[in-house]
């Protein structure tokens, strides 16, 4: 998925084809360096287990994505679309809100997957890749 080579927080949200969206999201995930991938997958698994106790802890997948998405998926300052010294404070607030909403939606997407990929998925995708 060529447009998916680099991460844009809003990219998965604008893809209308569910198959293309899933492919793109998984390619982005599997492009993480292995230590980051293993950590993220561990956290996904843990958050899913927390959500299994929603009737006790009130933490649905959406609530967990809202709490953890902005922390786990925050872009570096240089990659952030938020102006560093904005002339219009409202533009900064709007940009920040869009980034946070994107981070929440991306984490929610991964939390809602029936099967969480494994680090072995990365090795398999490299082995069976059609790109040279």
pLDDT at 117 over 60: yes
Residues in CB range of 104: below 8 A, 6 or more apart: 65, 66, 69, 70
Spell out the domains of the chain, with CATH numbers in brackets.
Answer: 11-75+89-117 (1.10.555.10)
| Chain segment 67-98, per-residue pLDDT in tens | 999 999 877 666 555 555 556 555 556 676 88
Q: Confidence band (pLDDT; 50, 70, 90) for 129? A: very low
Residue 76: Cβ within 10 Å count: 6
Q: What is the pTM of this model?
A: 0.69
């Amino acid at each position: 998925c060529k447009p998916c080579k680099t991460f844009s927080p809003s990219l998965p949200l604008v893809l209308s084809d569910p198959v293309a969206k899933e492919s793109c999201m998984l390619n982005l995930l599997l492009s993480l360096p292995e230590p980051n991938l293993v950590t993220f997958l561990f956290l996904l698994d843990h958050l899913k287990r927390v959500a299994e106790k929603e009737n006790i802890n009130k933490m649905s997948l959406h609530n967990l994505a809202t709490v953890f998405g902005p922390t786990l998926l925050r872009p570096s300052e240089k990659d952030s679309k938020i102006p560093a010294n904005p002339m219009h404070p409202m533009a900064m607030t709007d940009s920040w809100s869009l980034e946070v909403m994107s981070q929440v939606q991306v984490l929610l997407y991964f939390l809602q997957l029936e099967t969480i990929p494994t680090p072995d998925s990365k090795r398999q995708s490299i082995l069976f890749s059609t790109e040279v």
